[in-house]
A and B are shown apart, each in its own frame.
Chain A
Amino acid sequence: MFEYAWLILLFPLFAFLIVGLVGRRLPQGGGHVAVGGIAASLVVSGYLFWEVLGQGALGGEVHTTVDGYVWIPGIEGLAGSQAIHVGLLIDNLSALMLLLVSFLCLLIFVYSLGYMREEEGKHRYYAEVSLFSAGMLGTVSADNFLQLMVFWEIMGLCSYLLIGFWYHKPEAAKAAKKAFLVTRVGDVIFLVGILVIWNTFHTLVFDEIVAQMADSGSEGFAALLAAPQLLTIIPLLLFGGAIGKSAQFPLHAWLPDAMEGPATVSALIHAATMVKAGVYLTARSFIFLVPPAALPLEAPTVAILVIAVVGGFTAFFAGTMALTAYDIKRVLAFSTISQLAYMFLGLGAGAWLLTHGGETLGYTAALFHLFNHAFFKALLFLSAGSVIHAVHTNDMREMGGLARHLPITSKVMLVGSLALAGIVPFSGFFSKGEVLSATFEAAHEAPVFYLLYALGVLTALLTAFYTFRMWLMTFHGEYRGQGHPHESPAVMTAPLVVLAGFAVASGLLAYGMNGFGNLVFFGEPHAQMPLVGVPLAEYALEGLTLGVALLGIVLAWSVYATRRIPAERFTAAPSGAFLHRLLSRRYGIDDLYDAIGAKAVAGLARALDWFDRNVVDGVVNVVGRGGLAAAAGTDAFDRRVVDGAVNALSLETVRASWRLRQRQTGQVQTYAWMVVFGIVIVIVLVVGVSWFLRLQRGG
């Protein structure tokens, strides 16, 4: 009944084809086609969401698959072989994601009309972002893991191309390569996960997997009982892919460098959508993390803990690196890593709670944070883009005092900053608070979550601090750069204002839905509005997070606005200077990867290449040279006898052969005759020997 949902993917795909083929000749490089394509998608996904709500998604679940076509057919004659289909899954989560993604894409495409106006090669940009949006929409609507991965990789490709949009800049080309290769490592692990799933269940469809896990007569059920460790291994392998895509430790290194792309790309791909795909995948892998009750196996606690710990650690770890960055977009990039980590922490805590008799709280909180973060981080990146558009640099040391010159941008960015810092009633407050509450609740069962909770609270402090450090360095004080910055045109500020509206409202939306958990949940819906009718302890937790965030803002204010605490005092101390260097060098992890990737692998490659030329091929050449030496003796004879014979191939040269004789290369003819000779010998041998054999047998 949702067949029309295919259109959501097809519109941007067509836009990609049109812009890719003829965009060069269209006005604005085909920007309007891209906007039109995604606007059409938005209309359809809006309608889809409306229909899903109408079918009772609030407080219940809509869950339908839409058939596509056979991608890889099954094999008749081999037991258990099934076809791999292409299909869509329409449920609460995917309907919401489709709406969210197409809406954000539309806003950012419109903004691009202004931001990219002066760029050469706009048509490339619009073709690639259109393909990207098709990829993201496909990722969140796939009904099976393989299809999800195909679209996931299409996004990765577009991310690669768009990071390298200014490909003539060496840093951009290098950053693009790094992004592709680092995420590729994750993707390979993801791929192995898919192989294991397929061989265990002989299907990759989410629903069919769940059905098999609940059916004691099924193949997958038996396979899991025979190898219970698979239940832990599969989600861990899937998580490997999520780590790469969502830039979590230790595969986080590509995201800060990805900021070499245009700010719109950072907003769209590296903040609002693609990097969320890892979170989405982990949410989908809850079918393994929280197996059906009918499966008599213990829940994969190790996998759950790994997800939670990676999340908690990365949140803090990335937050620290944001403290020393001077590139406005890198601050936001580190912040994105850190916020994504909150989502993983929430998912880990959620899975823990669900497998220990709790509610869907953490799962909901993580996806709520995904939802809110998409708006306010897109807002922040686009605001940063507006700033960069005005001052032509990313370096915050050359900014300052821009509030006067960019009145709209400064205000909307303040809204975004408050949301990121988690100040009530901006959206980040609600979802971050819920993630931390879920973590705290999970700690009742497993004390390690206390540690993660502490890290999370500490991260909230860091977040507020670096966010306002960024805002103050950019907009407060005196302008330290060159020229006269101007506010951006309306085509850019209008999307900013819309996003600012959502940065305020998206958190409050939960009240309209009787709690976000009433729409997005795993298992049972959770009708609980934030801060309404919760126990006192909950208020205390939320108050703590809020207080910590306010403390961070105050600290930033006293360092970067009033300068009551000068930053120099910190960096002057030897330990402070060391810490500063450590953070600026990103803990040396990038250098380590460079050493492994560039030096060690390239060295191994050179060694093997030498081996190939000198050892493997060396043997061949030695044998060959011996053979040639033997042949050389007969060469003179050959030349005299067979010279020109090969020219019989050509009538013209036969005529001319006498004349050309002196100039012909004897070598070729020699070989030619060897070929003919060889064939004759083969034929004679085959006929002769087989005749002989036949005589023997028959005789």
Chain B
Amino acid sequence: MLIEFPILSLIVFLPLLGAVLTFLLGTSDRVAKGIAMGFSLAVLALASLVLVGFLWPELIELPVLTVGPVTYRAVERAPWVPQVGVSYILGVDELSVLLVFLNALLTPLALVFSWDEHHRVPEFFAMFLFMETTVNGVFLSLDMFQFLVFWEVGLVPMYFIISVWGGPRKRYAAMKFFMYTFLASLPLLVSVFAFYFYAGTFDMIQIIATTPMPIGLIGNLMFLAMLVAFGTKLPTWPLHTWLPDAHVEAPTGGSVLLAGILLKLGGYGLVRFNVQMLPDAAQEMFWALAAVGVISIVYGAIVCIAQDDLKRLVAFSSVSHMGFVTLGIAAGVHGFSGPGSAPGAGLAFAGAIFQMFAHGLISAALFMVAGALGHKIGTRNISDLGGIAKRAPWMATFIMISFLASLGLPGLVGFVAEFSVFVGVYAAFGWWVFVPILSVVFTAAYYVWAMQRAIFGPLNPRWESMPDLKRYEAAPLAVLVAAIAVFGIFPVLALELLNRWTGIVLGGM
């Protein structure tokens, strides 16, 4: 089946339409939820079509545009502000298709999980759809200006989700989230100008394919500027402190999408801009990526041990796990040209991207269980819990599975990503691999210790009558767990795409 309609525009703007309709027609909460679910599922169907188009092109055929070594699919192009060379360009490649699919999958799951939201329901659900539009826009835009617009507008829905539907310190957290990421995108802005200055275009396809980008000092400065911008979003140490606050205060659905998909914008930016558009600078500045990656991994894991609030714990674990993205990229760009280290470095690069996908699934599950706990019994503090497996076995089971997935249990999706990154770190940096690999023990320690205190042991009498998960909570968790297992056992489903793309990007450097 050949896809001839503008599928990517639909993927980007259908949620926006859904948001508006949810708003306008959402006279009752039920109608609003229905409309929102309908639209998010439609987007999921479209995103799945695109993914199938990549995995099994004989089933779904997407129009192809090959520029140099890189192949894009379903490219749409229209002039937007021709006076300054700004165009409307959407296109999908192996990198973005997975992330768009992740976003399309997580959005309806987060909506279902938020089914019992009572406060300003139509607005709440509309915000999620609005966010889906901005995120898909970031992943699919191949024009820098357009990218920037989606990037900046994307702050708005999350800001409101935290500040309106958040916890007691929501004002502080939302403000911090907003200011942090907003300020951090200023260096990105500067870099985009620099790109434009040197390339004379905002067209990313063209920049990636042809234009020699500045090397030396200017290129390196651009690299660092964008590292600040994307590193804040990721987040990487030491730009991470907005994350724990944002997560603690955000409503559960918001946390799910914040960790599951918004953090990936940072990783996506690093790969697309810092590596693909500035290959020379990336090879010179790999050490900066490696350094913040390793520090994030180890620092995040150790700080986790001291956390009592489960959401804070999971937030710091995200810092640690996102460190694998920076570290993997560093290993990839540093090691791919060495004799003997190229295969490993390639795996690390693909593994870094796969880690984004894996963490998207796992952290979504983590925040669902942490949020559900807080929702049901009013606390997420490990020290207040104890023995809840007895009263809430399903809750305990899902806590355990998501913890185990997050600590990199082999057979689940996180292990594949971490293993690939470690392979490349050894290939590129040799015995230094012992430093980040230490975190594997720390990670196991904080999760296993948390399980011991929270769900095992004697039941805390306060939770004698605590309810277990409801159906609308268990269902999205079950979907996530299934995905975590399937992509852990058959990672080839995603890695076939990522490894192919990695070969093109690193091979072309």
Are A671 and B163 neighbours in the complex by a CB distance under 8 Å?
yes
Are B347 and A75 neighbours in the complex by a CB distance under 8 Å?
yes
- Please, which residues of chain A bring their CB within 8 A of the CB of B422? 191, 195
The answer for the CA separation of A588 and B449 in the assembled complex, in Å, is: 22
- Please, which residues of chain B bring their CB within 8 A of the CB of A674? 178
Q: Is B120 an interface residue (CB 8 A)?
A: yes
* Interface locus among A53-61, A554-562, A688-696: A688-696
Are B457 and A77 neighbours in the complex by a CB distance under 8 Å?
no
**Nearest 10 interchain pairs by C-beta:** A77-B507, A605-B305, A77-B503, A173-B456, A81-B343, A609-B306, A605-B306, A167-B456, A150-B410, A75-B346
How near does chain B come to A685, taking the closest CB pair, in angstroms?
7
Q: Is A250 an interface residue (CB 8 A)?
A: no
Across the interface, A82 reaches (CB within 8 A) one of B81, B302, B343, namely: B343
Are B23 and A650 neighbours in the complex by a CB distance under 8 Å?
yes
* Interface locus among B269-277, B377-385, B440-448: B440-448
Interface string of A437-468 (1 = CB under 8 A from B): 00000000000000000000000000000000
Q: Is A682 an interface residue (CB 8 A)?
A: yes
Q: Is B367 an interface residue (CB 8 A)?
A: no
Give the interface centre of A152, A172, A188 by most chain B CB atoms within 10 Å. Answer: A188
Are B410 and A154 neighbours in the complex by a CB distance under 8 Å?
yes
Are A601 and B445 neighbours in the complex by a CB distance under 8 Å?
yes
Interface string of B360-397 (1 = CB under 8 A from A): 00000000000000000000000000010110000000
Are B175 and A671 neighbours in the complex by a CB distance under 8 Å?
yes
Q: Is A602 an interface residue (CB 8 A)?
A: yes
Contact surface of B with A, Cβ cutoff 8 Å: 23-24, 81, 83-86, 120, 122-123, 145, 148-149, 152-153, 155-156, 159-160, 163-164, 171, 174-176, 178-180, 182, 189, 192-193, 196-197, 200, 202, 237-238, 240-242, 299, 302-307, 336, 340-347, 350, 387, 389-390, 404, 409-411, 415-416, 419-420, 422-423, 426-427, 433-434, 437-438, 440-442, 444-445, 448-449, 451-452, 455-459, 490-492, 495-496, 499-500, 502-504, 506-507
Q: Which residue of A lies closest to B426 (CB)?
A: A195
Are A624 and B23 neighbours in the complex by a CB distance under 8 Å?
no
Are A181 and B444 neighbours in the complex by a CB distance under 8 Å?
yes
- Please, which residues of chain A bring their CB within 8 A of the CB of B438? 188
The answer for the CA separation of A15 and B138 in the assembled complex, in Å, is: 45
The answer for the CA separation of A693 and B145 in the assembled complex, in Å, is: 15
Are B437 and A199 neighbours in the complex by a CB distance under 8 Å?
no
Interface string of A598-631 (1 = CB under 8 A from B): 0001101110110010001100100010010000
The answer for the CA separation of A66 and B164 in the assembled complex, in Å, is: 58
- Please, which residues of chain B bring their CB within 8 A of the CB of A168? 387, 389-390, 456-459
- Please, which residues of chain B bring their CB within 8 A of the CB of A76? 499-500, 503, 507
Q: Is A7 an interface residue (CB 8 A)?
A: no
The answer for the CA separation of A691 and B237 in the assembled complex, in Å, is: 36
- In addition to A77-B504, A627-B179, 4 A-B residue pairs with Cβ atoms within 8 Å of each other are A82-B343, A181-B441, A624-B175, A668-B171
Are A679 and B343 neighbours in the complex by a CB distance under 8 Å?
no
Are B176 and A72 neighbours in the complex by a CB distance under 8 Å?
no
Beyond A73-B492, A73-B496, A199-B344, is A608–B302 a contact (Cβ under 8 Å)? yes
How near does chain B come to A272, taking the closest CB pair, in angstroms?
23
- Please, which residues of chain A bring their CB within 8 A of the CB of B347? 72, 75, 81
Q: Is A185 an interface residue (CB 8 A)?
A: yes
Q: Which residue of A lies closest to B237 (CB)?
A: A616
Q: Which residue of B lies closest to A76 (CB)?
A: B503
Are B449 and A177 neighbours in the complex by a CB distance under 8 Å?
yes
- Please, which residues of chain A bring their CB within 8 A of the CB of B171? 667-668
Are A651 and B24 neighbours in the complex by a CB distance under 8 Å?
yes
Are B85 and A202 neighbours in the complex by a CB distance under 8 Å?
no
Q: Interface SS of chain B: helix, strand, loop or mixed? A: helix
The answer for the CA separation of A691 and B434 in the assembled complex, in Å, is: 50
- Please, which residues of chain B bring their CB within 8 A of the CB of A660? none
Across the interface, A198 reaches (CB within 8 A) one of B176, B302, B344, B410, namely: B344
How near does chain A come to B222, taking the closest CB pair, in angstroms?
15
Are B499 and A608 neighbours in the complex by a CB distance under 8 Å?
no
Q: Is A375 an interface residue (CB 8 A)?
A: no
Q: Interface SS of chain A: helix, strand, loop or mixed? A: helix
Beyond A609-B303, A675-B159, is A195–B238 a contact (Cβ under 8 Å)? no
Are B340 and A223 neighbours in the complex by a CB distance under 8 Å?
yes
Q: Is A573 an interface residue (CB 8 A)?
A: no
Q: Which residue of B lies closest to A668 (CB)?
A: B163
Are B342 and A81 neighbours in the complex by a CB distance under 8 Å?
yes
How near does chain B come to A71, taking the closest CB pair, in angstroms?
6
The answer for the CA separation of A168 and B455 in the assembled complex, in Å, is: 9
How near does chain B come to A164, taking the closest CB pair, in angstroms?
6
Q: Is A358 an interface residue (CB 8 A)?
A: no
Are B159 and A199 neighbours in the complex by a CB distance under 8 Å?
no
Are A69 and B444 neighbours in the complex by a CB distance under 8 Å?
no
Q: Is A389 an interface residue (CB 8 A)?
A: no
The answer for the CA separation of A328 and B200 in the assembled complex, in Å, is: 80
The answer for the CA separation of A74 and B440 in the assembled complex, in Å, is: 25
- Please, which residues of chain B bring their CB within 8 A of the CB of A72? 347, 416, 420, 491-492, 495, 499
Are A75 and B502 neighbours in the complex by a CB distance under 8 Å?
yes
Q: Is A78 an interface residue (CB 8 A)?
A: yes
Give the interface centre of B149, B189, B197, B306 by most chain A CB atoms within 10 Å. Answer: B306
Are A686 and B506 neighbours in the complex by a CB distance under 8 Å?
no
The answer for the CA separation of A153 and B507 in the assembled complex, in Å, is: 35
Are B24 and A196 neighbours in the complex by a CB distance under 8 Å?
no
- Please, which residues of chain B bring their CB within 8 A of the CB of A678? 152, 182
Are A78 and B507 neighbours in the complex by a CB distance under 8 Å?
yes
The answer for the CA separation of A270 and B193 in the assembled complex, in Å, is: 63
The answer for the CA separation of A43 and B293 in the assembled complex, in Å, is: 50
- Please, which residues of chain A bring their CB within 8 A of the CB of B156? 672, 675, 679
How near does chain A come to B501, taking the closest CB pair, in angstroms?
9
- Please, which residues of chain B bring their CB within 8 A of the CB of A602? 305-306
Beyond A153-B410, A602-B306, is A176–B81 a contact (Cβ under 8 Å)? no
Beyond A181-B441, A671-B163, is A616–B238 a contact (Cβ under 8 Å)? yes
The answer for the CA separation of A69 and B493 in the assembled complex, in Å, is: 12
Interface string of A39-74 (1 = CB under 8 A from B): 000000000000000000000000000000111111
A and B contact pairs by CB, cutoff 8 A, 27 listed: A69-B492, A72-B416, A78-B336, A150-B415, A153-B411, A164-B456, A167-B387, A168-B387, A168-B456, A168-B457, A177-B451, A184-B444, A188-B438, A191-B422, A601-B305, A605-B302, A605-B304, A605-B305, A606-B306, A650-B120, A651-B23, A672-B159, A675-B159, A679-B156, A686-B193, A690-B84, A694-B85
